Structure formats: C-alpha cells, structure tokens
Amino acid sequence: MSDDIQKKLQTELDSFKNVQKELQKAIQTRQQLDGQLNENEIVKQELDLLPSDGKVYKSVGPVLIKTELVEAKQNVSKRIDYITKEIKRIDDVITSLEKKQDTHRGSAPEITGPVSAGPS
Amino acid sequence: MAQISATEQKGMQQIDLTTLNIQQLSTLKQQLDQELNLFQDSLASLKIAQSKFQNSGETLERVTPESEGKDILVPLTGSMYVPGKLHDTDKVIIDVGTRYYVEKDIETAKDYFQRKIKFVTEQMEKVQYLGLEKSKIRDAIVEIVEMKLTQQQQQHQS
C-alpha cells in the first residue's frame, strides 16, 4: 500500500519536474524573442528617421553590403511580424504549461494527503 | 486549484496577502526573487550599453574636418594593422542593431548617441523603480510568512 503511494508520488514528481523544465525553456525562448522584438523595433525607428536617400548597409559576415532603405525597412517589418507571431505562440505554450504545473502541484498533496496530515 | 492560480496573477488583481497560505506565499516569494535577479542583470547590461554609447559619442568629438588626410592604422585582425589615411571625415557608419549599419554625418551621429544614452538611462530608471516596488512586496511577504509561522506555533501549543 505504502509502496503504491510512493510509486505514484515518484511518477507525479517526475512529471512535475518535467513540466517545470519545459516551462523554464519556454520562458527563456520568450525572453529571447522579446529582446529580438525590441531590437528590431529600435532599428525600425532608426530607419524611419533617415532621409529617403539615406545610406544603409547590412553586415554579412565581415563585410558591409549596401542595401536600399526601402528594402531594409520591409525586412525589419517582416521580422517584427514574424517575432510577434512567435511570441503569441510561445505565450500559449507558457499558459498551458503553467496550468499543467498547477495541476501537478495540486495532485501531489492528494496522494500524500493522509501521510502529511500528521503533526509537524 | 482556484486558490493556487490566484498566485500567478500577481499585479493583475488585488490580493490580500494575509489570505494566502504559507505554500502560496513562498511560491510568490520565489517568483519575486527571480524577477529581482532579472532586474539586477538587466541593470548591469544597461550600464554596459550606456558606457558603450558614451564612449562612441565622445570619440565623435575628435572626428573633425581637420582630421581629413591624417594617418591611421587600420586593424585587419586583432594583431595586424595596415597604415591608412582618414578620408570622408564628415561621415560615419553606425551599427543600429540587427546587423544594419547606417551612414550619418557627424552632427546626426552625435544626436543618435545622445538619444541612445537618454533612452538607456530612462530604461535604467524604470527598472530601478520596478525593482524597488518588487522588493517592497517581497519584504511584505516575508513578514507575513513569519507572522503566520508564529501563529501556527501558538496554535499547536494551545
């Protein structure tokens, strides 16, 4: 009987830890995306400030390649769109993982309930 | 279940901290500790960015029309240089992020760095303010946990 409880608790704990790990990873990705979004938005602001004949270069490895301002703007806007979508996606993942985590947190005391209810 | 999810919505709705149990409070404290760490890290990175911008801005002061034609050593690698002459000293190319570089004249370049310094300083102030608020909440939580613990002890004794 107590073996049974222990086993249950162990699997419960394992899956809880797994969820926690996944959540951590998702949050990290989310932060990274946030940073990228910020950077892109700042670049966009900067490009918008330029006169229409402003010279823009893109670094490809060690060299700078001249780019059209319009093209650069389009590129940055496209990237912002993409990152925003990615953030939405990862946000959903985070919410569902958080829900999972809470369920696991709630079910652990259910298993140990009668044991841990004793005086501390 | 419903109780636990309430701890996730910190800041979204008003929660009386005294109504939470010790487990919830410690989870909340953990979250706040993590956030505070993050703030410290951000502050450090912002400081680095700030000094970089300041450095670049100061360097621009020395790039004047008179430096046209002056000799410089251009680093090809970390340990190899070739001699060169300064040319086009009224223009510089600035890294604006995400691998884009923009050509600006000295005045707008100075303006650029000034703006960046201002922006970063503002962000630092914001982070500092938020950190202060969070650490206040954290202190409150610690206090309540201690209060609850003594309460529990008294109940056990009686």
ipTM of the complex: 0.72
**Is B127 contained in some domain?**
yes
In percent, the amount of chain A with pLDDT more than 70 equals 90
Domain segments of chain A as ranges: 16-112
- Which helix (H) or strand (E) segment holds residue A89: the answer is helix A69-116
**Residue B49 is assigned to a structural domain of this protein:** yes
Residues pairing with A67 in the sheet: A56
> Which of residues 71 through 100 in chain B touch A, CB cutoff 8 A?
93, 95-100
Min distance B66 CA to chain A CA atoms (Å) = 24
The Cα–Cα gap between B158 and B153 comes to 9
- Residue B75, in any domain of the structure: no
CB A111 within 8 A of CB A9: yes
How confident is the model over B66-93, as a mean pLDDT? 92
Chain A residues with CB-CB distance to B96 below 8 A: 42-43, 46-47
Q: How far apart are CA B8 and CA A23, in angstroms?
A: 14
Q: pLDDT tens digits for A66-81?
A: 999 999 999 999 999 9
**Residue among B28, B30, B42, B98 with most chain A CBs within 10 A, to mutate:** B98
Q: Does the pLDDT value for residue B150 go beyond 80?
A: yes
Taking the alpha carbons at both ends of chain A, their separation in whole angstroms is 23
CA–centroid distance for B98 within its chain: 18
How many domains is chain B partitioned into structurally?
Answer: 1
Name the residue with higher pLDDT: A62 or B116: B116
For A68, B1, B22, B29, B30, the CA distances from A106, given in Å and listed in that order, are 57, 6, 15, 19, 18
Q: Do B98 and A102 touch (CB under 8 A)?
A: no
- The two structure tokens encoding residue B44: 């450090």
Residues of chain B contacting residue A105, judged by C-beta atoms under 8 Å apart: 4
CA of A59 vs chain B CAs: smallest distance (Å): 5
pLDDT of B6 reads: 36
pLDDT value for B12 = 56
Residue B70 falls inside a structural domain:
no
Contact yes or no for B97 and A43 at CB 8 A: yes
User: Please, are residues B127 and B109 in contact by the beta-carbon 8 Å criterion?
Assistant: no
**Torsion sign, CA atoms B83, B89, B95, B101:** negative
Q: Pick from A43, A55, A64: which is nearest to B96 by CB?
A: A43
B42 token code pair: 């951000």
Taking domain A16-112, whether its CATH number is 1.10.540.10 is answered by: no
CA distance B94 to chain A (A): 9
User: For position B4, what pLDDT does the model report?
Assistant: 33
**One-letter amino acid for residue B102 of the chain:** V
Using an 8 Å Cβ cutoff, are A31 and B88 in contact? no
CATH code, domain carrying B47 = 1.10.287.370
**Number of inter-chain CB pairs under 8 A, A vs B:** 57
Predicted local distance difference test score (pLDDT) of residue A120 = 40
Domain that includes residue B101, residue range:
39-64+90-141
Tell me whether B41 touches chain A (CB under 8 Å).
no
Q: Is B123 within the bounds of a domain?
A: yes
